[in-house]
Amino acid sequence: MAFLGERLKQKNRDGSYKREQGGAVETEKLLAQMEEFTIFYKSVQEAKCAGDFNALYKLCKEFLKKRPENVAANLHLIDFYVNKKEYENIGEIFDRLCYYHPQEKNTLLAQKEMIEKEIGVRF
């Protein structure tokens, strides 16, 4: 998967390969994570377009097992709960996001408040 003629250099401790490009070191692991997220995101879009919220739920839960800090997956899961009118888990998801992303806490709490006003329920 080398691009722009870069070559694999040395192995990391976890078995992935380092890449050197312009002084920056990228790993195969990062590329694999990006590919994994791309597949997840496309699958989520397909599920939403089809109105298949059960598939959306399964996709999000499975992805969050590996990446519980992922903002997009958590927000899609909130979307699922809002569409199913199952509001009891939404506050928990926002708490988890604030834990993993404390620098974004104000933004996340504002979004939580906006959703609460929109649906008329406090989490």
Residue numbers of the domain that contains 67: 9-119
Tally the domains of the chain. 1
The CATH number for 32's domain is: 1.25.40.10
The whole-number pLDDT of residue 31 equals 81
Q: What one-character DSSP code corresponds to residue 9?
A: E
Any domain includes 57: yes
The whole-number pLDDT of residue 12 equals 59
Any domain includes 4: no
Query: At 41, phi and psi to the nearest 5?
Result: -65, -45
The token pair at 32 is: 């694999």
CB 94 within 8 A of CB 108: yes
Any domain includes 31: yes
Any domain includes 42: yes
Q: Which residues of the chain have a pLDDT value below 70?
A: 1-26
Any domain includes 49: yes
The whole-number pLDDT of residue 29 equals 78
Any domain includes 61: yes
Distance CA 120, CA 123 (A): 10
The whole-number pLDDT of residue 50 equals 95
The whole-number pLDDT of residue 48 equals 92
The type of residue at 100 is Y
Any domain includes 2: no
Any domain includes 48: yes
- pTM above threshold 0.85: no
Indicate the burial class of 13 (C-beta count within 10 angstroms; 0-12, 13-18, 19 or more).
exposed
